[in-house]
Structure 1
């Protein structure tokens, strides 16, 4: 036992006073008995004995009263078990990712966790609260009550290391009590192992009751018909899905198609048709689990003619003019000697068809065109030296050509998952008529699209996320190859000539820092904004002559259909979707937190901290004892004669 004010104990010397008083009252006197009271002698003896006992009891109670009172003022206490962490700051890391939409025994996991914080944290408790999207430093629960009650779900996953870095930057050289509240879905951490070495860490894992979930994974245009788009919708099931899932298609707010999805395995694909017109809406499903991945927002603009420029001799360019027809493309053919470089900027795709010479100026111009979102298709000439080819290739990435070989090869493998062929094949084809080449270069460092029988690349690609560069490893003139006669040539070149910014589905994923190229001229200090009803943001923008490059970064914070505006003019309609990283509720990473102290709720954390670090003050007990002994003294005075 220790004392806050040990100097008060000197007053224990005051205990001498009642002892002296008591001794004075017990002085012996010589007794003389007279004959007239002799009959009372026996009764006097008994009374005298009783009076001595009473005085001794009164002395004891008065000594105890005074001693207890002195001890109370000295404030005795027992030392806390944990004194080293007594000054720790309380840091709460709360997961508000979409997986916390799942329902537990008492409702949605996030809302229930917030309610516990509101109910259990004392109003005078200072703490810092960090979520995936919000930060509250050195606050109390009353100050942020409204903010956390209105806390929305975040498209950002729960990144423990990122939150720890924030805390360590803000709170340097301080010991901390961490309370981590997360369902541990997709939670990985490199700092978790060392976090508990210098801090006290508690882990609360809200549990979902239903871990089955269905999400809309992707939507593509599988076929373009005369009057309709054929959409292929891919749904993913996590867990066991026994019921049919209703699916609806909305253009603006109007329902234009409905169907149901049945799951025989983890993936279901549904094909529907919609009118071939501007589309600015969503595809929705209904399931009983997470709601954030039930909507897929998308925009389709009416097809515009694409500008395609082919550079090469006119006799070799004839087969391309039959692919890039006038109803869908503005096709231009030019010889290198008569090429107007000023026209390159306005094209969507440029084909270099077996040029004998590759001027440095052409490579530099095409590099700029590629960086601004254009597509470049390169077909080598047999007379090109490999050094010239590789010098040209450096403008577009780290791929390389190797020596020319006179070996006949068959083109036998198709990369069906490549974006170039996503809308071409309904299923994988293995029995098509194999095209072949007689001679060609070696080609490495590209994503394969078409491969020879020896697994070397015939056609490959690379992308900067704006434009795409396609390269052939061999000339495809009729003397060297029969590829021009193969059915595969039409969808290959047709899709290479398409600009994804002008055709197809405009649907971006939040957080992937995607880009958009717009053909527009901005005046000085004029900016482009992206907006929907009740929400807008200004993306990063870079002027590229007659074009503007928009970079979205981590914006927007909300999924939906948006207008791209220049002042009051709507330049384009686009859509954004949340990433589907939280859809699988069965991918727990609880092992990340196994070194932490696991508790069920925040009340347990507070009780544990209080019991371990709070001194056990017992001065109140001495006050109660003082009152008790005073009461005993009164009883002695009243009932003992």
Structure 2
């Protein structure tokens, strides 16, 4: 037997009071007058044994009444069989309520979330008034971290709403175990439908100091089709040009779905429509084409019609259509016009040319691509400025002047973290080969013929480093040498050519592959932010470098809310940390004061889309031999089972009854057990 409040046992010292009363009060003698003293001894002898018995019985009744009254306040109990040893003091009961989108579904009990709230209130009612409670939902709110009493818990339960934030079972358990103490009685209940996506497949470890009970709310598996993702087939988005977007849909149901309408809206204008058929449990991709969009940020919405679950029927995304792409060409040979000829073919490219003798370093950040065309004497100062430009995300293309010596170029190349020149190679023209797997040639060729005409060179540099890990071949030469290669430097890229654009060194500038290659290199310099982020999952947003003054800040603004992110500057990027501040899907403007810098889209987590549920055996398999209790909400005796498991057999009521019984016994003894009445006289 254990005691909930063992400190009250010190009150057992109160049994000394009736004992003292017995020793001093009952030994008083009463004077009696007799006419004949010959009968005095007989009266004393006849009543002495009965008087002593009465005194002892009254004393025992008083002592036992005090003892059981003290025990009643100490709250004795007998632990349930198999229950771990209880620690003196109240229980700390943690209750997790799954408030994800899947809890909106219905069963015979009604809405799953409302059923979970009712079960949680039943759990609270199964515990004592002195026990404390902690509530946890998918929102991981700070106010739910403090222990509360039963009334506060019920009030907090009534405030729970469906949340777009999705969690995994391991995340929930880790959160419940954050402040577990071995010096108190702690138990945790998890009320959820236990979707397979929520449960996962990885083994889960729990803290043995915390007792876990899983209460599975029964829901029916529902058919559901989700718009999973979207991406563009175009490397850049140009005004009034044809666009192609690929949309991916997933049928999570057990039956085939036909004639599912898919709509694409850009800036609230319908741009494309399609109809698809999806086999049960399968994923399909569909391509939507449209045109006629102007420059600026575009807000896109892909939507389908699917019931009863609708939270994943829309996918928000954003992209930017740029009016122009700025390119800078720094020329050593002013007579070489190959770069100007290429970019003059399309008004989208805005080419600026500077002579090698008059370079404005301050203008570098304005350009997406900088081309060095045949510089005679590249300086270390230029290398320093270009390295800073590349590390911040810029793209650099270098066509060397083969007339310059290696001693002139090598300090410049090493200043850019590029390999040094070994030697110049001259001789008969040799053909290059195309690295068709390189991303630059994606969508350039439908099919590469075996006898394709390729650029040729008769003079080129060979470089010391031919096996760098950050190098990608674009056009290769024999003996593992390259004609053009890409190096990743910081957040940017450097494209290094082994030959010049001069006709006496080769035919690269006149070859048909040169124009698409230059366009692809120019497009690679424009970085595109992600089409969308996920609520509750994407905590860091990437943006192009944003220069802020000391007291300036950024904010994300939507129609319903405003968020101030934490800002961290990195080479070439500004990182925005939003943590869990984004609660709803939709479009958010990134603003600096009143200026909109970009538009970002958030969508609900698709992990809730799969409406299949883990069985009890599947759940138990994740916990191996750990002691976990499982309950099914279908059982009418749920509350009784939980109360039996978690409430030991309490004896305070019995102690209180016994205390009253012994007090009544004392009264009866004093009133009715009178040995004088039985005195015999002669």
Give me the TM-score of the superposition, normalised by structure 1: 0.69
Change (3 A) 1:79 1:448: same
Change (3 A) 1:503 1:73: closer
- Partner secondary structure for residue 138 of structure 1: coil
Give the distance between the partners of 1:400 and 1:92, measured in 2 at CA.
61
Match of 1:134 in 2: 141
Change (3 A) 1:134 1:549: same
Assess if the C-alpha contact under 8 Å between 1:97 and 1:582 holds in 2.
yes
Give 2:342's match in structure 1, choosing from 314, 317, 322: 322
Match of 2:36 in 1: none
Q: How far off is 1:331 after superposition?
A: 0.3
Q: Does 1:230 find its partner at 2:243?
A: yes
Assess if the C-alpha contact under 8 Å between 2:590 and 2:600 holds in 1.
yes
Give the distance between the partners of 1:97 and 1:455, measured in 2 at CA.
56
Assess if the C-alpha contact under 8 Å between 1:309 and 1:350 holds in 2.
yes
Match of 2:628 in 1: 597
Give the distance between the partners of 1:238 and 1:475, measured in 2 at CA.
53
Q: Which moved more, 1:65-74 or 1:559-568?
A: 65-74
1:115-149 Cα deviation digits (max 9, x unpaired): 53245433865222333442312124643535764
Give 2:174's match in structure 1, choosing from 153, 160, 164: 164
Change (3 A) 1:400 1:68: farther
Match of 1:266 in 2: 283
Give the distance between the partners of 2:629 and 2:549, measured in 1 at CA.
59
1:567-601 Cα deviation digits (max 9, x unpaired): 44444444334565655566979554443514136
1:300-347 Cα deviation digits (max 9, x unpaired): 445322211123444556146413646112202334333221221322
- Partner secondary structure for residue 264 of structure 2: strand
Q: Does 1:347 find its partner at 2:371?
A: no
Match of 1:368 in 2: 388
Change (3 A) 1:429 1:66: farther
Assess if the C-alpha contact under 8 Å between 1:213 and 1:239 holds in 2.
yes
Q: Which moved more, 1:235-244 or 1:102-111?
A: 102-111
Structure 1: unaligned runs, 5 residues or longer:
14-64, 631-641
1:126-179 Cα deviation digits (max 9, x unpaired): 2223334423121246435357644442446437358636853x5566553233
Give the distance between the partners of 1:580 and 1:413, measured in 2 at CA.
35
Match of 2:119 in 1: 116
Assess if the C-alpha contact under 8 Å between 2:68 and 2:658 holds in 1.
no
Give 2:351's match in structure 1, choosing from 331, 334, 337: 331
Assess if the C-alpha contact under 8 Å between 1:303 and 1:502 holds in 2.
no
- Partner secondary structure for residue 645 of structure 2: helix
Q: How far off is 1:250 after superposition?
A: 2.8
Assess if the C-alpha contact under 8 Å between 1:97 and 1:132 holds in 2.
no
Counterparts of 1:9-28 in structure 2, within 5 Å, are none
Give the distance between the partners of 1:358 and 1:157, measured in 2 at CA.
55
Change (3 A) 1:306 1:227: closer
Give the distance between the partners of 1:568 and 1:379, measured in 2 at CA.
43
Match of 1:45 in 2: none
Give 2:542's match in structure 1, choosing from 515, 520, 524: 515
Match of 1:446 in 2: 470
Assess if the C-alpha contact under 8 Å between 1:381 and 1:474 holds in 2.
no
Q: Which moved more, 1:570-579 or 1:618-627?
A: 618-627
Change (3 A) 1:2 1:219: closer
Give 1:83's match in structure 2, choosing from 70, 82, 85: 85
Assess if the C-alpha contact under 8 Å between 2:328 and 2:351 holds in 1.
yes
Give 2:561's match in structure 1, choosing from 518, 535, 543: 535
Q: How far off is 1:294 after superposition?
A: 2.9
Structure 2: unaligned runs, 5 residues or longer:
4-8, 20-60, 665-682
Q: Which moved more, 1:382-391 or 1:591-600?
A: 382-391
Assess if the C-alpha contact under 8 Å between 1:348 and 1:375 holds in 2.
yes
The two structures, once aligned, show a CA RMSD in angstroms of 5.4
Give the distance between the partners of 1:389 and 1:187, measured in 2 at CA.
56
Give 2:210's match in structure 1, choosing from 199, 224, 229: 199
Match of 1:218 in 2: 230
- Partner secondary structure for residue 83 of structure 1: coil
Q: Which moved more, 1:195-204 or 1:91-100?
A: 91-100
- Partner secondary structure for residue 143 of structure 1: helix
- Partner secondary structure for residue 322 of structure 1: helix
Change (3 A) 1:160 1:552: same
Q: How far off is 1:232 after superposition?
A: 1.3
Match of 2:261 in 1: 246
Assess if the C-alpha contact under 8 Å between 1:233 and 1:271 holds in 2.
yes
Match of 2:37 in 1: none
Aligned residues: 572
Change (3 A) 1:513 1:103: farther
Match of 2:45 in 1: none
- Partner secondary structure for residue 436 of structure 2: strand
Give me the TM-score of the superposition, normalised by structure 2: 0.65
Change (3 A) 1:530 1:85: same
Give the distance between the partners of 1:597 and 1:566, measured in 2 at CA.
51
Assess if the C-alpha contact under 8 Å between 2:177 and 2:207 holds in 1.
no
Change (3 A) 1:434 1:217: farther
Give the distance between the partners of 1:9 and 1:212, measured in 2 at CA.
72
Q: Which moved more, 1:376-385 or 1:121-130?
A: 376-385
Change (3 A) 1:344 1:314: same
Q: How far off is 1:217 after superposition?
A: 0.9
Give 1:494's match in structure 2, choosing from 503, 508, 519: 519
- Partner secondary structure for residue 327 of structure 1: coil
Give 1:308's match in structure 2, choosing from 327, 340, 353: 327
Change (3 A) 1:388 1:428: farther
Q: Does 1:275 find its partner at 2:282?
A: no
Change (3 A) 1:436 1:75: same
Change (3 A) 1:605 1:276: same
